[in-house]
A and B are shown apart, each in its own frame.
Chain A
Amino acid sequence: MNSLERIVAAVKLEKPDRVPVTPLSITRSLRVAGFTTEECLYNPEKMVEGKLAGAGRFEDDAVVAGSDLFVEAECLGSKVRVYEHTPVVVDYFIKDRSDFKKLKMPDPRKDGRMPYVCKEIELLKKKLDNTKIVVPVTGGPFTTASQLYGPEQLLIATFEDPEWVHKLIRFCTDVSLAYWEELIKAGAHAIVALEPFSSNTILSPGQYAEFTAPYLKEMFEFSWSKGVVGVNHTCADTSLIWDQMASVGALALQVDHPVSMRECKEKVGKKICISGNVHPIDYMLYGTPEAVYWKSRSVIEEAGNGSGFVLGSGCDLNPKTPEANILAMVQAAKDTVYNDDLTVSFIRESYARPVDMAA
């Protein structure tokens, strides 16, 4: 089985040869080629060279296109700066709710970084020839709205002027749909909607139902109508909204480190593929390879049985994450095999178990 087939099997809840793995080494991959994020953002050829260098070194199962969730907001007029190697919005386009009328529908073939991400996908697809899944990351509609108006302002507006908020998210959804159409034309196998501002750390489950779920549903139904898998990624605590996250048409959920993978598997992981959730800092950045390996094994034990599981980190890796730790995570997946009854067995112990991680 190649990486693409392995992930497809997991997403379809069928039998992969082993546990698939994607450490979310998005900008970290670029470091393998010695590139900074800055020099790749507007240079798809270099971006592809960096991503492929990472894929070659780490031998994980997915290549993530793009680098961040601000592409849509930037296209709409919010100012993005690369800060400490990570793009961030430094100036929100909407200062006053009346600025809504100044928003203009972008052309994803020409405006901002959208064409660069599309080009990256085209080049990756050519090079990888369907051996690995190519999956771009995008901003979900609520998150894009938060990056246009400012998260604090938007959250307050959900109480003060919900109609206006819906109008804004409706517009962001239309922008995303236009962008996703181009990503799909470029050849994306799957698309991730990143919704860090929709976790139940920030929104109540009722607000998620009102301001996030209907719009995401539209996105995921659109991508699936074109045969492209939607991935619903939400950072922080999502345990109160798993049912909703699993019901908006995405075929996979990515969950972050604060939640229990065992509970997630119990609650929704038997009907939808789930991915996670090794701590990106405590383990991936600061842990030893042995600790990463054994933590990864314990996550596999929590959520691997029954297929529908992709081992990963809870969130995007820090660019300084040690290579040895990423390799240890990938090795944990390589040390598994799926049995016919879809249970997972380990075929070897590639790293010694740390004394403080007793069985």
Chain B
Amino acid sequence: MSEKELLGRIRQAIVSMSVSETEAATREALQAGVDPLRIITSGLAAGLTEVGDMWIRRERFISHVLMAAKALNAGQALVEQKLAGKEGHYKATVVLGTPKGDLHDIGKNLVGMMMRAGGFKVYDLGVDVEPRMFIDKAREVNADLIGMSLIMSICLDKMEEVCKLAKAAGIKAKILIGGPATSEKVALRIGADAYGGFDAPTAVHAAKKLVGLAA
């Protein structure tokens, strides 16, 4: 099988959400000597991006994306053993989290996975994150972007606090918000730089635009 076919098989395994097929295809590609980084970018991540595109077209739903992401993680675990500390080339760095009070993490996790697939170095602070922590982490890793996802509108104040703190601190990171409790209007109102929509692929596109990776 050619490298192109091997990578195609990995992408297909992700699209069909099969953990075992993803592992088998990834092993085969590794044994055939395909560059581990290429397995990630042109195989695993490309497969997840394909699932994301289908999600936008409403041919797949969050449940499918989660299952595809599980397959991706299984493949990635095999590749990482071979990478042994070799860092990929990241196009931009992002700090992610849900603001203090919001414990819902599916959306944020999916955005994180798709951002990784899209070439971002992702620092995921998890859920229920104090506003100050976003700023401290962004400064520490010289982030290009802070991404926050919100389901509970009651926590909008905390999101706004992050925006205010970021401005006051003068950090370079731009702020992207998304999730059901946000909107264009919310972004304008609280001083975020962009609204990343209701779904992860839209958020990743908005992130790329903000850091100059997409038009």
Contacts and interface: CB of A to CB of B under 8 A. Distances in A.
Contacts of A89: 103
A285 to B, nearest CB: 7
A83 B183 CA distance: 23
Nearest to A256: B180
A258 B66 contact: no
Between B67, B100, B153, B181, the greatest number of chain A beta carbons within 10 A of the residue's beta carbon is seen for: B153
B154 A202 contact: no
A90 B103 CA distance: 8
Interface string A170-209: 0000000000000000000000000000001111100100
A281 B153 contact: yes
Q: Which of A84, A156, A285 has the most CB of B within 10 A?
A: A84
The bracket for how many chain B residues form the interface is 20 to 34
Contact of A159 (B63, B105, B199): B63
B152 A86 contact: yes
B90 interface: no
Contacts, number: 78
B210 interface: no
Interface string B188-203: 0100000000110000
B183 A203 contact: no
A37 B70 CA distance: 37
A158 interface: yes
B101 A83 contact: yes
Interface of B: 17, 58, 60-64, 66-67, 70, 100-101, 103, 105-106, 109, 152-156, 180-183, 185-186, 189, 198-199
21 contacts: A83-B101, A83-B103, A84-B101, A84-B155, A85-B154, A89-B103, A155-B63, A156-B66, A158-B63, A159-B17, A200-B61, A203-B61, A204-B60, A204-B61, A207-B61, A281-B153, A282-B183, A282-B185, A282-B186, A286-B186, A318-B154
Interface of A: 83-86, 88-90, 151-152, 155-156, 158-160, 200-204, 207, 235-237, 240, 258, 279-282, 285-286, 318-320
